[in-house]
């Protein structure tokens, strides 16, 4: 690939993809009122091209001044938009920044200090927005917003659009970043690039992830080496997503063998799902063993929702469910509906012939604990 090649740009000189996620989300917000582009333009006293530019990324919402964006939010709220929907745009702006910076850089090494992947530990909601143009899977937090959309004639995209060359440059940059930044001070940038690289279906990325996993797995088993541990965890999850489950099974066996590692795994899940509300600038929070920091309700609901035969991440999810019930035995108290759902899900998953003996035993232990809670 030509490393000097420039990407498509908007009328503002920004990469075209700078506003793809926030623009598509804005379209869903507009349709929730519901209004057409013409109707919204009339109500906002702007021309139709402006609304279309916001939604298509030609005039990215990310380029608006804070005051103008606040004014737009107030006007949209007055037109019937739920205020909570506009709050979702904050993560969409950050997703656009991650995507646009990567596409603009391509295979070029970027400044690690100002790199958006180095700024904060990502949660599920943000990560799902970043990967939305690639996977087409509507982020969980937008599920209700994406239903009931008006039926249109002709082809209509069901996701924010990344062109093929933009997608290639996005993943080229993730691979470059994961390979280039190996110092301890860049560990967050690197491991978040590794995680996102798991959504690349190209053989070069899959092979790099496998090679990296094989080189790093021994470090992950060392007590206290959380940076290596979390990087191996990310690459194992990425490989499992592409059909190679063995590295994740190996990680569960060797990388979740100490109390510190179990604590780190549970804390990461709690942060990922928002039970630890404070944003974190690095991975140090994972080794905080304070028992009252989070309750576990969101974590167990999420894990039960992912419990099904054929799951790529069954070994990690079931092991986490097992350790969660050991660490938070009261998490299912006073939740009979959730216990019934859990037993149904377990019965379905037990039929999965691909489950290893250890995972199957842990699943049986979870079922036993739930039946005890029912007494």
> Domains of the chain: which residue ranges?
19-142+161-167
- Can you read off the two tokens belonging to residue 100? 């646009």
Handedness of CA 176, 180, 184, 186 (dihedral sign): negative
Q: Are 343 and 371 in contact (CB under 8 A)?
A: yes
Sequence-distant contacts of 142-149: CB under 8 A, at least 24 apart: 142/25, 142/28, 142/88, 145/28, 145/29, 145/32, 145/85, 146/28, 149/28, 149/31
What's phi and psi for 15, nearest 5 deg? -55, 140
Query: Cβ distance 70 to 116 under 8 Å?
Result: no
Measured distance CA(58)–CA(17) in Å, rounded: 9
User: Measured between alpha carbons, how far is residue 82 from residues 33, 41, 142, 313 in Å?
Assistant: 9, 19, 13, 35
> What's the confidence (pLDDT) of residue 151?
52
What is the predicted pLDDT for the residue at 14?
Answer: 57
pTM of the model as a whole: 0.92
Q: Is 121 helix (H, G, I), strand (E, B) or coil?
A: coil
Position 3 scores a pLDDT of: 43
- CA-CA distance, 307 to 305, in Å (whole number)? 6
- What local confidence, expressed as pLDDT, does residue 150 receive? 60
Q: How far is CA 19 from the centre of its chain?
A: 18
Asked if omega into 34 is within 30° of 0 (cis), the reply is yes
Q: How many CB atoms neighbour CB 347 within 10 A?
A: 10
CA distance 86 to 67: 15
- pLDDT in the model for residue 374: 76
9 forms beta bridges with 15
CA distance 117 to 113: 10
pLDDT at residue 288, rounded to an integer: 82
285 secondary structure, DSSP code: G
- Non-local CB neighbours of 324 within 8 Å, separated by 6+ positions: 266, 269, 296, 299, 300, 303, 331
Q: Give the residue ranges of DSSP H helices in the chain.
A: 20-31, 37-44, 48-56, 66-78, 83-87, 89-105, 124-135, 143-146, 164-180, 187-197, 203-220, 226-241, 246-255, 259-272, 297-305, 314-327, 336-349, 357-374
User: Whats the size of the chain, residue-wise?
Assistant: 375
Distance CA 81, CA 219 (A): 50
d(CA 19, CA 136): 17
User: Mind listing the pLDDT tens digit of every residue in the chain (375 residues)?
Assistant: 444 444 555 544 456 778 999 999 999 999 999 999 999 999 999 999 999 999 999 999 999 999 999 999 999 999 999 999 988 999 999 999 999 999 999 999 999 999 999 999 999 999 999 999 999 999 999 988 866 556 565 567 889 999 999 999 999 999 999 999 999 899 999 999 999 999 999 999 999 999 998 888 766 666 567 788 888 999 999 999 989 999 999 999 988 989 999 999 999 999 999 999 999 999 999 988 776 789 999 999 999 999 999 999 999 999 999 999 999 999 998 899 999 999 999 999 999 999 999 999 999 999 999 998 877
């Amino acid at each position: 690939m030509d490393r000097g090649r420039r990407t498509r740009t908007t009328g503002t000189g920004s990469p075209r993809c700078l506003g793809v996620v926030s623009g598509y989300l804005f379209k869903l917000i507009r349709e929730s009122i519901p209004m057409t582009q013409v109707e919204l333009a009339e109500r906002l006293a702007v021309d139709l091209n402006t609304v279309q530019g916001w939604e298509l990324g030609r005039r990215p919402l990310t380029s608006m001044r804070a005051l103008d964006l606040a004014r737009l939010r107030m006007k949209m709220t007055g037109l019937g938009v739920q205020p909570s929907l506009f709050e979702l745009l904050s993560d969409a702006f950050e997703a656009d920044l991650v995507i646009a910076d990567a596409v603009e850089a391509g295979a070029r090494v970027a400044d690690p200090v100002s790199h958006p992947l180095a700024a904060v530990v990502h949660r599920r909601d943000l990560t799902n927005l970043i990967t939305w143009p690639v996977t087409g899977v509507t982020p969980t937090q937008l599920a209700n917003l994406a239903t009931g959309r008006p039926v249109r004639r002709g082809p209509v995209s069901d996701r924010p659009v990344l062109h093929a060359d933009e997608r290639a440059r996005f993943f080229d940059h993730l691979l470059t970043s994961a390979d280039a930044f190996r110092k301890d001070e860049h560990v967050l940038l690197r491991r978040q690039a590794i995680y996102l690289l798991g959504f690349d279906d190209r053989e070069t990325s899959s092979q790099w992830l496998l090679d990296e996993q094989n080189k790093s797995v021994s470090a992950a088993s060392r007590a206290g080496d959380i940076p290596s541990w979390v990087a191996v965890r990310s690459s194992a999850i990425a490989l499992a997503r592409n059909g190679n489950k063995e590295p994740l099974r190996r990680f569960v066996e060797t990388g979740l063998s100490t109390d510190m590692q179990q604590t780190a795994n549970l804390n990461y899940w709690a942060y990922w799902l928002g039970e630890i509300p404070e944003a974190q600038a690095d991975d140090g929070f994972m080794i905080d063993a304070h028992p009252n920091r989070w309750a576990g309700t969101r974590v167990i609901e999420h894990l039960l929702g992912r419990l099904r035969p054929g799951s790529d991440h069954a070994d990690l999810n079931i092991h986490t469910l097992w350790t969660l019930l050991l660490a938070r035995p009261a998490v299912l108290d006073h939740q009979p509906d959730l216990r019934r759902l859990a037993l149904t899900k377990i019965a379905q998953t037990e039929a999965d012939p691909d489950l290893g003996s250890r995972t199957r035993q842990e699943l049986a232990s979870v079922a036993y604990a739930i039946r005890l809670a029912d007494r």
